[in-house]
Chains A and B, each alone.
Chain A
């Protein structure tokens, strides 16, 4: 993976387009607020620029997507970054808007990065590459909603792994979500609208 001048290329997504397709899955159709970020958009944002510089990468080398999270807190921009293929390293999800760091919640890594799950927890409690982008952003939406509730009430509304050394949660197969697939025409749309898929996103 070295270019003509010997620089090590980090554009894994050019070499493994099938992994990108699997990642995007049906999510981009069902959630039109998700979109791939262009290098100039990364360049324009001081926060994203700083993050990319810390990774030692160029904006054009990074696979990045943006989506919204909405709630009483307003509309925040979420950015998922994939410096390496999903499965090789974990994606990084940033929240660009709203309070930062400890003012946002106790579940931040630095100012912007969301701590979405405990890495040793069982599969059903963590995002995996086969879950795709939409479930990653949904997880982040749940997270920033949890943060806003914590700021309003002082309580984290769902389970959390405590500080420091942590035992993994016991396996709970009932929490496993079904793999994402295109729904049947008369099935409820998986965007959550409650309408039949043929009258909603899969029209």
Chain B
């Protein structure tokens, strides 16, 4: 039997989610300091400013490991139809206003947004241009500025609905949903890094459909992998939780779908094997197969990994050192500098 510091698998998941998966508090505090200042600048400097609100994964609180970007929807007033005629003109107006902020180092017009790079922070701020639909229909019109394709118009999006859906689902599952999304996104990063055939919002939408009540985290992950395996089958489409009658994977390439499904199949097998273990320590070691050596399990304890490294029996699996197996590593002697 494996000894472990945890009484339950759920408790280990809580620690993992808190200490490894969640964006560190200091980084979140920085973000909380930055986005109100940027929004304040827009309010002052952009005469067409109607409203701004947080959106995207930062808005839904589902970013994992580190903060990459903050999406801010900028809803514009457009009484004379100047912006409706040109999304590029709306983005240019936002860009000029944002440049006035002392935090901003550079600006770049993109398809839907103006991306701000900051002097002192690695994360970026994306200011997404939006208009209220003139006919009062659901959602917002979001900029689509692709000059090289001759496109300079607006398409319907549902950032408010997506935010609402995440909040409601988290409430329905008694706080399990949002940390579970972060766990899933951590897993995506372990398999593919940044360039993922299984997109983050697709995975989030699959989890949205899979979770209907409060369950422990290990069960939530098993439910996710089961649902993802079905959702990635050829011809199956996943609804967007926040946008009626739209699907998040309509343009997913079949090759990417197959690659994503194969990775999900492997993870699903490992997740079921871990979930079926009676012994907590063995179960935690099983979850290391899914989430890698950052998962707090007996096999990843510093003492055990250290002994294995000293005995030259440690190897690398995925992106981390494993005590029991893995590919060999150069047995270098680093030079102590002090």
A interface vs B, CB < 8 Å? 31-35, 43-47, 67-75, 97, 102, 106-109, 114-119, 121, 124-127, 131, 135, 138-139, 141-143, 145-146, 148-149, 152-153, 155, 157-163, 166, 169, 175, 177, 190-194, 203
Q: Find out whether the CB atom of A139 lies under 8 angstroms from the CB atom of B330.
A: yes
With CB as the reference atom, state the residue of chain A lying closest to B300. A72
Q: Find out whether the CB atom of A118 lies under 8 angstroms from the CB atom of B333.
A: yes
Which residues of chain B have C-beta atoms less than 8 A from A163's C-beta? Answer: 336-338
- Assess A193 versus B332: contact at CB under 8 Å? Given A32-B193, A74-B19: no
Among candidates B65, B122, B301, B335, residue contacting A75 with C-beta atoms closer than 8 Å = B65
Q: Find out whether the CB atom of A141 lies under 8 angstroms from the CB atom of B316.
A: yes
Q: How far is the CA of A141 from the CA of B294 in the complex (A)?
A: 12
Contact with A along B167-194 (1 / 0, CB 8 A): 0000000000000000000100111111
Q: How far is the CA of A131 from the CA of B85 in the complex (A)?
A: 56
Which residues of chain B have C-beta atoms less than 8 A from A169's C-beta? Answer: 333
The 4 A-B pairs with the shortest beta carbon distances in the complex, nearest first, are A117-B332, A33-B193, A70-B320, A192-B326
Which residues of chain A have C-beta atoms less than 8 A from B65's C-beta? Answer: 74-75
- Assess A193 versus B317: contact at CB under 8 Å? Given A121-B332, A157-B309: yes
With CB as the reference atom, state the residue of chain B lying closest to A148. B302
Which residues of chain A have C-beta atoms less than 8 A from B236's C-beta? Answer: none
Q: Find out whether the CB atom of A102 lies under 8 angstroms from the CB atom of B335.
A: no
Q: Find out whether the CB atom of B330 lies under 8 angstroms from the CB atom of A69.
A: no
- Assess A141 versus B320: contact at CB under 8 Å? Given A75-B189, A75-B294, A107-B337: yes
Q: Find out whether the CB atom of B330 lies under 8 angstroms from the CB atom of A106.
A: no
B195 within 8 A of A: yes
Which residues of chain A have C-beta atoms less than 8 A from B192's C-beta? Answer: 32-33
B residues 287-316 near A (Cβ < 8 Å) are 292-294, 296, 300-303, 305-307, 309-310, 314-316
- Assess A131 versus B330: contact at CB under 8 Å? Given A106-B338, A117-B335, A157-B310: yes
Q: Find out whether the CB atom of B293 lies under 8 angstroms from the CB atom of A71.
A: yes
7 contacts across the A-B interface (CB closer than 8 A): A35-B195, A71-B305, A72-B296, A106-B336, A127-B330, A153-B303, A157-B307
Q: Find out whether the CB atom of B334 lies under 8 angstroms from the CB atom of A70.
A: no
B262 within 8 A of A: yes
Q: How far is the CA of A160 from the CA of B321 in the complex (A)?
A: 18
Q: How far is the CA of A166 from the CA of B338 in the complex (A)?
A: 13
Q: Of residues B119, B120, B335, B338, which shows the largest number of chain A Cβ atoms within 10 Å of its Cβ?
A: B335
Q: Find out whether the CB atom of A72 lies under 8 angstroms from the CB atom of B294.
A: yes
- Assess A115 versus B334: contact at CB under 8 Å? Given A44-B124, A70-B190, A203-B262: yes
- Assess A192 versus B325: contact at CB under 8 Å? Given A75-B65, A141-B319, A169-B333: yes
B66 within 8 A of A: yes
Q: Find out whether the CB atom of B20 lies under 8 angstroms from the CB atom of A35.
A: no
